[in-house]
Structure 1
Amino acid sequence: MSPLKKKRWKIAHFATTSISTVGAAVSIFRLVFLYSNSQQTSRCNVCKLQLAYEYFGQRPPFGKKTIALLENAYVIHDPFDADGSHLILGSHCSECGAAVCVDQKCSLFYVKRFCCQCCIARNEDFPTEVQKEIKKMKELNSKN
Protein backbone atom coordinates (compact mmCIF):
# COMPACT_ATOMS: atom_id res chain seq x y z
CA MET A 1 0.00 0.00 0.00
CA SER A 2 1.40 3.43 -0.92
CA PRO A 3 2.18 5.96 1.83
CA LEU A 4 -0.50 8.26 0.38
CA LYS A 5 -3.28 5.69 0.72
CA LYS A 6 -1.99 4.36 4.01
CA LYS A 7 -1.96 7.76 5.70
CA ARG A 8 -4.96 9.28 3.89
CA TRP A 9 -3.31 12.53 2.98
CA LYS A 10 -5.52 15.36 1.76
CA ILE A 11 -4.03 18.08 -0.39
CA ALA A 12 -4.67 21.47 1.18
CA HIS A 13 -2.35 23.80 -0.70
CA PHE A 14 -0.10 23.71 -3.75
CA ALA A 15 2.62 26.26 -4.42
CA THR A 16 6.19 26.68 -5.60
CA THR A 17 8.71 27.53 -2.96
CA SER A 18 12.24 27.14 -1.71
CA ILE A 19 12.90 25.19 1.44
CA SER A 20 15.99 24.90 3.54
CA THR A 21 17.03 21.45 4.74
CA VAL A 22 20.22 21.49 6.82
CA GLY A 23 21.50 24.57 5.00
CA ALA A 24 20.89 23.35 1.45
CA ALA A 25 18.18 25.25 -0.41
CA VAL A 26 16.06 22.93 -2.51
CA SER A 27 13.46 24.21 -4.95
CA ILE A 28 10.41 21.96 -4.98
CA PHE A 29 6.72 21.98 -5.62
CA ARG A 30 5.38 22.31 -2.13
CA LEU A 31 2.36 20.30 -1.16
CA VAL A 32 1.02 21.02 2.27
CA PHE A 33 -1.01 18.12 3.54
CA LEU A 34 -3.62 17.80 6.22
CA TYR A 35 -3.13 14.43 7.81
CA SER A 36 -6.49 13.06 8.89
CA ASN A 37 -5.20 12.06 12.35
CA SER A 38 -3.10 15.19 12.99
CA GLN A 39 -4.48 17.64 15.54
CA GLN A 40 -1.39 19.87 15.63
CA THR A 41 -1.62 22.96 13.46
CA SER A 42 0.11 26.30 13.11
CA ARG A 43 -0.71 29.30 10.94
CA CYS A 44 1.76 31.41 8.94
CA ASN A 45 1.50 35.01 10.17
CA VAL A 46 2.32 36.33 6.68
CA CYS A 47 0.21 34.32 4.18
CA LYS A 48 -2.23 32.86 6.77
CA LEU A 49 -1.67 29.31 5.46
CA GLN A 50 -2.63 26.72 8.07
CA LEU A 51 0.06 24.06 8.50
CA ALA A 52 -0.85 20.64 9.84
CA TYR A 53 2.37 19.19 11.20
CA GLU A 54 3.48 15.97 12.84
CA TYR A 55 6.51 17.22 14.76
CA PHE A 56 7.97 20.52 15.98
CA GLY A 57 11.64 20.60 16.92
CA GLN A 58 15.16 19.96 15.64
CA ARG A 59 15.30 16.14 15.56
CA PRO A 60 12.30 14.60 13.80
CA PRO A 61 11.62 11.07 15.10
CA PHE A 62 11.21 9.81 11.53
CA GLY A 63 13.63 9.75 8.61
CA LYS A 64 17.40 9.74 9.10
CA LYS A 65 18.18 9.83 12.80
CA THR A 66 21.56 11.49 12.20
CA ILE A 67 20.01 14.71 10.89
CA ALA A 68 19.57 17.64 13.25
CA LEU A 69 17.83 20.71 11.87
CA LEU A 70 19.41 24.10 12.46
CA GLU A 71 16.14 25.47 13.85
CA ASN A 72 13.02 24.26 15.58
CA ALA A 73 10.71 23.58 12.64
CA TYR A 74 7.24 22.29 11.79
CA VAL A 75 7.85 18.95 10.05
CA ILE A 76 5.80 16.22 8.32
CA HIS A 77 6.72 12.89 6.73
CA ASP A 78 7.42 13.23 3.01
CA PRO A 79 4.47 11.31 1.50
CA PHE A 80 6.33 10.85 -1.80
CA ASP A 81 9.42 9.22 -0.30
CA ALA A 82 9.24 5.64 0.96
CA ASP A 83 12.50 6.12 2.90
CA GLY A 84 10.70 8.14 5.55
CA SER A 85 12.31 11.50 4.87
CA HIS A 86 10.65 14.71 5.96
CA LEU A 87 9.44 18.08 4.68
CA ILE A 88 9.95 21.31 6.59
CA LEU A 89 6.77 23.40 6.50
CA GLY A 90 7.73 26.36 8.65
CA SER A 91 9.31 27.71 11.80
CA HIS A 92 9.38 30.81 14.00
CA CYS A 93 11.10 34.10 13.20
CA SER A 94 14.23 34.42 15.33
CA GLU A 95 13.60 38.17 15.77
CA CYS A 96 9.89 38.56 16.55
CA GLY A 97 8.87 34.94 17.19
CA ALA A 98 6.09 34.92 14.58
CA ALA A 99 5.17 31.55 13.05
CA VAL A 100 6.02 31.55 9.33
CA CYS A 101 5.98 29.04 6.49
CA VAL A 102 9.00 28.45 4.23
CA ASP A 103 7.49 30.18 1.19
CA GLN A 104 9.99 32.64 -0.31
CA LYS A 105 7.62 35.56 0.23
CA CYS A 106 7.04 34.69 3.90
CA SER A 107 10.46 33.90 5.36
CA LEU A 108 14.16 33.58 4.72
CA PHE A 109 16.71 31.30 6.36
CA TYR A 110 20.16 32.81 6.84
CA VAL A 111 21.86 31.30 9.92
CA LYS A 112 18.42 31.68 11.54
CA ARG A 113 14.85 32.06 10.21
CA PHE A 114 13.52 35.60 9.65
CA CYS A 115 9.99 36.65 8.66
CA CYS A 116 9.61 39.05 5.73
CA GLN A 117 8.86 42.04 8.00
CA CYS A 118 12.05 41.52 10.04
CA CYS A 119 14.11 40.92 6.87
CA ILE A 120 12.93 44.19 5.35
CA ALA A 121 13.42 46.09 8.63
CA ARG A 122 16.99 44.75 9.10
CA ASN A 123 17.98 44.62 5.42
CA GLU A 124 21.31 46.45 5.97
CA ASP A 125 22.41 43.90 8.59
CA PHE A 126 22.54 41.08 5.99
CA PRO A 127 25.30 40.35 3.43
CA THR A 128 24.85 41.68 -0.12
CA GLU A 129 23.77 38.29 -1.52
CA VAL A 130 21.05 37.97 1.11
CA GLN A 131 19.95 41.58 0.51
CA LYS A 132 19.20 40.58 -3.10
CA GLU A 133 16.92 37.79 -1.83
CA ILE A 134 15.21 40.25 0.52
CA LYS A 135 14.63 42.61 -2.42
CA LYS A 136 12.94 39.74 -4.31
CA MET A 137 10.87 38.98 -1.21
CA LYS A 138 9.78 42.62 -0.99
CA GLU A 139 8.80 42.61 -4.69
CA LEU A 140 6.78 39.40 -4.28
CA ASN A 141 4.92 40.86 -1.29
CA SER A 142 4.19 44.13 -3.10
CA LYS A 143 2.48 42.23 -5.96
CA ASN A 144 -0.13 40.82 -3.57
Structure 2
Amino acid sequence: MRLPQEMDDPNKSVEEKELVYDFNCVSCNLNEKAHYKGTKPPFSRNIILKYPSYVMKDPFSPPGKGEVLMLGADCAICDKPVCISKECSIFYMKLFCINCAKQSLEKFPVEIQSKINSNKK
Protein backbone atom coordinates (compact mmCIF):
# COMPACT_ATOMS: atom_id res chain seq x y z
CA MET A 1 0.00 0.00 0.00
CA ARG A 2 1.28 3.44 -0.86
CA LEU A 3 1.31 6.31 1.57
CA PRO A 4 -1.67 8.66 1.51
CA GLN A 5 -1.63 11.49 -0.96
CA GLU A 6 -3.25 14.88 -0.67
CA MET A 7 -5.96 15.55 -3.18
CA ASP A 8 -4.98 18.47 -5.36
CA ASP A 9 -7.66 21.13 -5.23
CA PRO A 10 -6.41 24.70 -5.56
CA ASN A 11 -9.62 25.99 -3.90
CA LYS A 12 -8.96 24.15 -0.63
CA SER A 13 -6.67 25.34 2.13
CA VAL A 14 -4.00 22.98 3.43
CA GLU A 15 -6.24 22.06 6.41
CA GLU A 16 -9.18 21.20 4.13
CA LYS A 17 -7.30 18.89 1.76
CA GLU A 18 -8.22 15.27 2.16
CA LEU A 19 -5.78 12.39 2.26
CA VAL A 20 -6.34 9.61 -0.24
CA TYR A 21 -5.17 6.07 0.45
CA ASP A 22 -4.50 3.51 -2.26
CA PHE A 23 -6.30 0.51 -0.80
CA ASN A 24 -5.16 -2.81 -2.28
CA CYS A 25 -6.49 -6.04 -0.76
CA VAL A 26 -3.66 -8.49 -0.11
CA SER A 27 -5.94 -11.40 -0.98
CA CYS A 28 -8.02 -10.48 -4.05
CA ASN A 29 -6.15 -7.36 -5.23
CA LEU A 30 -9.24 -5.14 -4.99
CA ASN A 31 -7.78 -1.71 -5.72
CA GLU A 32 -9.71 1.43 -4.73
CA LYS A 33 -9.09 4.94 -3.49
CA ALA A 34 -10.03 5.29 0.19
CA HIS A 35 -10.89 8.76 1.44
CA TYR A 36 -10.23 7.94 5.08
CA LYS A 37 -8.57 5.43 7.39
CA GLY A 38 -9.71 5.30 11.00
CA THR A 39 -12.83 4.92 13.10
CA LYS A 40 -14.67 8.26 12.64
CA PRO A 41 -14.94 9.32 8.99
CA PRO A 42 -15.24 13.13 9.07
CA PHE A 43 -17.59 13.18 6.09
CA SER A 44 -20.14 10.69 7.50
CA ARG A 45 -23.22 11.10 9.65
CA ASN A 46 -22.30 9.97 13.16
CA ILE A 47 -20.69 6.72 12.00
CA ILE A 48 -18.19 5.23 14.43
CA LEU A 49 -16.45 2.05 13.30
CA LYS A 50 -15.35 -0.63 15.76
CA TYR A 51 -11.82 -0.82 14.35
CA PRO A 52 -9.68 1.39 12.07
CA SER A 53 -10.95 0.84 8.54
CA TYR A 54 -10.42 2.09 5.00
CA VAL A 55 -13.50 4.06 3.98
CA MET A 56 -14.55 5.80 0.80
CA LYS A 57 -17.35 8.24 0.14
CA ASP A 58 -20.28 6.40 -1.42
CA PRO A 59 -20.16 7.33 -5.11
CA PHE A 60 -23.85 6.38 -5.50
CA SER A 61 -25.29 8.65 -2.82
CA PRO A 62 -26.03 12.35 -3.34
CA PRO A 63 -23.16 14.71 -2.39
CA GLY A 64 -23.21 15.87 1.21
CA LYS A 65 -25.29 12.93 2.47
CA GLY A 66 -22.36 11.43 4.36
CA GLU A 67 -22.88 7.90 3.09
CA VAL A 68 -19.76 5.71 3.16
CA LEU A 69 -18.52 2.37 1.87
CA MET A 70 -16.19 0.37 4.06
CA LEU A 71 -13.51 -1.25 1.93
CA GLY A 72 -11.57 -3.16 4.56
CA ALA A 73 -8.91 -2.84 7.23
CA ASP A 74 -5.40 -3.90 8.07
CA CYS A 75 -5.15 -7.54 9.18
CA ALA A 76 -4.76 -7.79 12.95
CA ILE A 77 -1.83 -10.19 12.49
CA CYS A 78 0.18 -9.25 9.39
CA ASP A 79 -0.97 -5.60 9.24
CA LYS A 80 -1.61 -5.81 5.48
CA PRO A 81 -4.81 -4.34 3.99
CA VAL A 82 -7.60 -6.84 3.38
CA CYS A 83 -11.11 -6.24 2.06
CA ILE A 84 -14.25 -7.26 3.93
CA SER A 85 -15.22 -9.96 1.43
CA LYS A 86 -15.87 -13.27 3.19
CA GLU A 87 -13.48 -14.92 0.72
CA CYS A 88 -10.65 -12.61 1.81
CA SER A 89 -11.16 -11.98 5.51
CA ILE A 90 -12.91 -13.05 8.68
CA PHE A 91 -14.05 -10.87 11.52
CA TYR A 92 -13.63 -12.05 15.08
CA MET A 93 -13.26 -9.04 17.37
CA LYS A 94 -10.86 -7.69 14.72
CA LEU A 95 -10.42 -8.27 11.00
CA PHE A 96 -8.02 -11.01 9.88
CA CYS A 97 -6.91 -11.90 6.37
CA ILE A 98 -7.89 -15.47 5.60
CA ASN A 99 -4.24 -16.58 5.25
CA CYS A 100 -3.30 -15.40 8.74
CA ALA A 101 -6.52 -16.86 10.14
CA LYS A 102 -5.69 -20.27 8.63
CA GLN A 103 -2.13 -20.12 9.96
CA SER A 104 -3.42 -19.24 13.46
CA LEU A 105 -6.46 -21.52 13.34
CA GLU A 106 -5.96 -23.05 16.79
CA LYS A 107 -6.15 -19.60 18.43
CA PHE A 108 -9.79 -19.12 17.33
CA PRO A 109 -12.89 -20.64 18.95
CA VAL A 110 -14.15 -23.88 17.38
CA GLU A 111 -17.16 -22.11 15.79
CA ILE A 112 -14.86 -19.63 14.05
CA GLN A 113 -12.43 -22.39 13.04
CA SER A 114 -15.18 -24.08 11.03
CA LYS A 115 -15.90 -20.82 9.18
CA ILE A 116 -12.20 -20.35 8.44
CA ASN A 117 -11.87 -23.95 7.21
CA SER A 118 -14.88 -23.57 4.93
CA ASN A 119 -13.17 -20.71 3.10
CA LYS A 120 -12.07 -21.76 -0.38
CA LYS A 121 -8.88 -19.67 -0.52
> What is the TM-score with the length of structure 2 in the denominator?
0.73
User: In structure 2, what residue type is equivalent to 1:119?
Assistant: A
User: In structure 2, what residue type is equivalent to 1:108?
Assistant: I
| Residue from 90, 100, 105 that aligns with 1:118 | 100
Contact 1:44 1:51 in 2 (8 A): no
Q: 1:103 to 1:69 in 2, by over 3 A?
A: same
Tell me how far apart the structure 1 counterparts of residues 109 and 69 of structure 2 sit (CA, whole Å). Answer: 27
Among the aligned pairs, what percent are the same residue?
A: 37
Q: 1:59 to 1:98 in 2, by over 3 A?
A: same
Contact 2:41 2:55 in 1 (8 A): yes
1:95 aligned onto 2:54? no
Tell me how far apart the structure 2 counterparts of residues 72 and 52 of structure 1 sit (CA, whole Å). Answer: 16
Contact 2:87 2:98 in 1 (8 A): yes
User: In structure 2, what residue type is equivalent to 1:110?
Assistant: Y
Unaligned runs of 5+ in 1: 1-37
For residue 40 of structure 1, give the secondary structure of its aligned residue in structure 2: strand
Tell me how far apart the structure 2 counterparts of residues 40 and 98 of structure 1 sit (CA, whole Å). Answer: 13
1:71 aligned onto 2:75? no
User: In structure 1, what residue type is equivalent to 2:86?
Assistant: Q
Q: Could you list the per-position Cα deviations for residues 19-60 of structure 1 after superposition, in whole angstroms to 9, with x for gaps in the alignment?
A: xxxxxxxxxxxxxxxxxxx85312111112212111111101
Q: RMSD over aligned Cα, in angstroms?
A: 1.8
Tell me how far apart the structure 2 counterparts of residues 128 and 40 of structure 1 sit (CA, whole Å). Answer: 36
Aligned length, in residue pairs: 101
Tell me how far apart the structure 2 counterparts of residues 39 and 84 of structure 1 sit (CA, whole Å). Answer: 17
Higher strand fraction: Structure 1 or Structure 2?
1
User: In structure 1, what residue type is equivalent to 2:77?
Assistant: E
1:45 aligned onto 2:26? yes
Tell me how far apart the structure 2 counterparts of residues 135 and 95 of structure 1 sit (CA, whole Å). Answer: 18
Higher helix fraction: Structure 1 or Structure 2?
1
Unaligned runs of 5+ in 2: 1-18
Contact 2:54 2:71 in 1 (8 A): yes
